[in-house]
Structure 1
Amino acid sequence: MAEDHKKTLQSQLWNIANTLRGKMGADEFRDYILGFIFYKYLSERMHLFADEILKQDEIRFDAIDEGSAAGQKMLAEIQEESVDRLGYFLKPSELFHKVAEKGAQKANNFILEDLTAILKHIEASTMGHDSEDDFEGLFEDLDLGSSKLGKTENQKNELVAKVLAHLDKIDFRLADTEADVLGDAYEYLIGQFASGAGKKAGEFYTPQEVSTILAKIVTTGKKSLRSAYDPTCGSGSLLLRVAKEVEDVGHFYGQEMNPTTYNLARMNMILHGVHYQRFDLKNEDTLEHPAPEHAGLRFEAIVANPPFSANWSASAIHENDDRFSPYGRLAPKTKADFAFVQHMVHHLDSGATMACVLPHGVLFRGAAEGHIRKYLIEDCNYLDAVIGLPANIFYGTSIPTCILVLKKQREHPNDILFIDASQHFEKVGNQNQLRPEDIERIVSTYRKRESIEKFSKVSESSEVEANDYNLNIPRYVDTFDAEDAVDLDEVAEKLAALEKDMGDANKVVAVLCAELGIKAPF
């Protein structure tokens, strides 16, 4: 039943999202529809929470008279408990269905000003409380005055009211605590938007198939995690994927540079039922300005899909940074891939695992990158596995990628596992996609740490050293298919037979041409 409801909900929400399609770009109408869904979610949670408090009084939250002294006293008490437990507060008149009903009226149906005030009030209700940082600026991308919604205020109001009315008819079933149906539907929408956002998709979304591999690797042998960290967390989907692989994650940490994506990540966390006290996401450049609140922390699981070969300052000031100084070299200015690896290794706890997606170039490029790669392998002995993925599985780029797995306390310190999964996928539209059996084979091979002909090899550290720490996968996993041997004697016999047949045919043609009194064509 939950699965059926999830599919229905996904379809309903995507149909509503398409109400805004054509009005603006995919990444823009994404911000509106996800923002409205989030507002409805907060509203329904507030309603359920308040109704539970008021159950003994046999009063419904939306029936409280906000203008009466008794009503105001009651709301003040509910607000105090709500901000403490949920992190925010909404008055009955600010509930989603109240606004949607007003927008659906034939007269007196202008809701843009009301809606703007309500969204600001949600943020304001958290001020001075522990949840303030998690709600501050959360709705800043929901610009209800934007001309993209319509040329006139009435046109904007009509479109927004239409979207809210459609959403108001959908039952999110938040009382059903057995399944994260809405969270899964929200993830589905994020994925759909990513598929239409082209290059920009890489800023906020890792394909679910890749996320699953990373999450399964870092949770191998674990039933719970003290902490999970993603230094380039995008929409937060990768962190949430890790949570699906274990019974519990104590705390989520992350950093995201793009403010819009950062807002999306916080919404995603809250909407998946992660309490505001259990996640700590920061909005800043991870390499240039790492969150000071995270500086002394070490994490049990680290996952990441950093921007491929991004630019960074590579400033000399970083040479004294604890994240980079042990290596003696900084990642190149135009290729920050190893800078992200160094940052993650710095925050990796003993006995913990990190898995990150990177472009293939990190496996073999020389100069500073070769020096850093050698230090990680020879001096630190942190590299545990290298996994080659198919080309064209990420939105916005067709380049082949790889997964690096690193540990500070390796169970197999004398070898490195190489997996070549580059040829195992199916083509779906313009993208290549890993199938469930492809994911299972990669994860199973990693966990069993086995050599499989033309797919994987457990290579001794001495072999990697002999290759001068070049990790290019074909050096270790031989996927070459030898062609069948050719019998030259048999070929010669066939050619001789063919020659004879052609000679016989030519004689017949010559006779026919003579009878017709024409010249033979040879």
Structure 2
Amino acid sequence: MALKKSELYSSLWKSCDELRGGMDASQYKDYVLTLLFIKYVSDRYAGVEGAPIEVPEGGSFQDIVALKGDKEIGDKINKIIAKLAEANNLKGIIDVAEFNDPDKLGQGQDMQDRLSRLVAIFNRPNLNFSKNRADGDDLLGDAYEYLMRNFATQSGKSKGQFYTPAEVSRIISKVIGVNTAESQDQTIYDPTCGSGSLLLKAADEAARGLTIYGQEMDNATRALAKMNMILHRHPTAEIEQGNTLANPRFKEPNGSLKQFDFAVANPHFSVKAWSNGLTPSNDEFKRFDGYGIPPAKNGDYAFFLHVVRSLTYKGKGAIILPHGVLFRGNAEAEIRRNLICKGEIKGSMSLL
């Protein structure tokens, strides 16, 4: 019998309830999604030869379950996760959450009880992912998006900080013709990939698949993106961490920007400190040459021009930006004029 999404969502949000009080809601994801990932890969791949994820002895979810009620549960969970991370080259990806942090999880018995109840929620029989996955249904991807929506609401932050709604992702993918991709060797890139939802939805439009590249500035969010790629059976996706404008990680051997067949992006709107670590007038990647330098306190066109320079000659890209990029004057008006004259803009769409 297939696992109902409502049951999964209910269990996940109960796990968030166990974490309330010691941390901001935006930090829940570090714990909940880490346990979700470990539970999923343990159910799917433990003991499976040739699996994309190796679940080593002493590094599974069942090893965590065995710790319920243990006085050292937090420290021992960290060690179990470390074993799984080391076996799969996932250090810095799945070991971001600190399960032995008394400031967030409580002191002594409080931490012991809190983590024991949290683990018990994920150990419910109806959350067995080994067989309980409906054909054609992406339960884990939906769970990520569900949690991202709620984290955004609870933390008082824009949900765009965590993910791009699936409907928007699909529209973008269709607009740039991802479905025309003929080979998995063709590439897709997101320079501000967040948790990876936009990249994944876009890549799904290609019948034969695509080679996936992404960069994310925040290390914890980059970790989410990498876990998300693995859960969606894209374990080879390259997700790098760093400031895309100041330190783009994907380059050609000659030092120029790597170019891609498709690019999608949903950067933070109107970033004021976009030029930190960068001298725009002497940009080594020449992203602003022939177009103009964006205003010092508004980085919308900086991301736009980065996408333009990151496309092959026949490459196609789409970027989500605030409406102001269509109307603002001065430096942005000059950039807009040059983009149009060079034929770089094929169209714009308003999403309300």
Q: Normalization by structure 1: what TM-score? A: 0.60
Q: Which runs of 4+ in 1 moved over 6 A?
A: none
Look up the match of 1:262.
222
Q: What value does the CA root-mean-square deviation take over the aligned residues?
A: 2.5
Confirm whether residue 178 of structure 1 aligns to residue 128 of structure 2.
no
Q: How far did residue 164 of structure 1 move? A: 0.7
Query: How big is the shift at 1:89?
Result: 4.1
Q: What letter corresponds to residue 141 of structure 1 in structure 2?
A: V
2:243 aligns with 285
Cα displacement (A) at 1:370: 1.4
Match of 1:252 in 2: 212
CA deviation string 1:308-332 (max 9, x = no partner): 1112227546534334243252111
The structure with higher relative contact order (CA 8 Å, sep 6+) is 2
In structure 1, the partner of 2:330 is: 367
| Percent identity for Structure 1 against Structure 2 | 33
The separation in 1 between residues aligned to 2:211 and 2:205, in whole angstroms, is: 15
Which amino acid letter does the alignment assign opposite residue 261 of structure 2?
E
The residue that corresponds to 1:398 in the other structure is none
Q: Which amino acid aligns with 2:216?
A: E
In structure 1, what is the equivalent of residue 68 of structure 2?
Answer: 103
8 Å CA contact retained: 1:228, 1:249: no
Structure-1 residue corresponding to 2:122: 167
Structure with greater helix percent: 1
- Cα pair 2:294 2:332 within 8 Å, conserved: yes
Paired residues for 1:500-511 under 5 Å: none
Q: Which protein shows a greater Rg?
A: 1
Which runs of structure 2 are paired with 1:80-479 in the superposition (5 Å)?
86-91=52-57, 93-103=58-68, 108=70, 110-126=72-88, 132=89, 135-169=90-124, 170-175=126-131, 176=133, 178-179=135-136, 180-199=138-157, 201-219=159-177, 222=180, 226-275=186-235, 277=236, 279-293=237-251, 295-310=256-271, 311-313=273-275, 315-316=278-279, 318-327=281-290, 329-378=292-341, 380-390=342-352
CA distance, structure 2, for counterparts of residue 267 and residue 139 of structure 1: 7
Q: Amino acid of the residue matched to residue 219 of structure 1?
A: G
Secondary structure of 1:11 counterpart: helix
The verdict on how the C-alpha distance between 1:293 and 1:178 changes in structure 2, with shifts beyond 3 A counting, is: farther
Shift of 1:230: 0.7
Task: Report the Cα distance in structure 2 between the residues aligned to 1:328 and 1:354, rounded to whole angstroms.
Answer: 17
| Deviation of the 1:255 alpha carbon | 0.7
Match of 1:483 in 2: none
In terms of fraction of residues, the more strand-rich structure is: 1
Aligned-partner Cα distance in 2 for 1:208–1:326: 34
| Range that drifts further, 111-120 or 295-304 | 295-304
Give the deviation of 1:301 after TM superposition. 1.8
> Is the Cα–Cα contact under 8 Å of residues 73 and 112 in structure 2 kept in the other structure?
yes
- Please state whether the residue corresponding to 1:353 is helix, strand or coil: strand
One-letter identity of the residue aligned with 1:94: G
Which deviates more from structure 2 when the two are superposed, residues 194-203 or residues 337-346? 194-203
- SS of 2:320's equivalent in the other structure is strand
SS in 2 for 1:193: helix
Instruction: Number of aligned residue pairs: give it.
Output: 342
Shift of 1:140: 4.2
Unaligned runs of 5+ in 1: 54-81, 127-131, 391-522
**Offset of residue 350 of structure 1:** 3.2
The 2-side partners of 1:266 and 1:30 are apart by: 14
Q: 1:177 to 1:9 in 2, by over 3 A?
A: closer
CA–CA distance in structure 1, aligned partners of residues 73 and 179 of structure 2: 52
Structure 2: stretches of 5+ with no match in the other structure: none
SS in 2 for 1:43: helix
TM-score (norm 2): 0.87
Cα offsets for 1:462-488 (capped at 9, x unmatched): xxxxxxxxxxxxxxxxxxxxxxxxxxx
Distance 2:195 2:128 in 1: 21
Distance 1:296 1:365 in 2: 28
Letter in 2 for 1:137: G
Distance in 1, Cα, partners of 2:179 & 2:83: 44
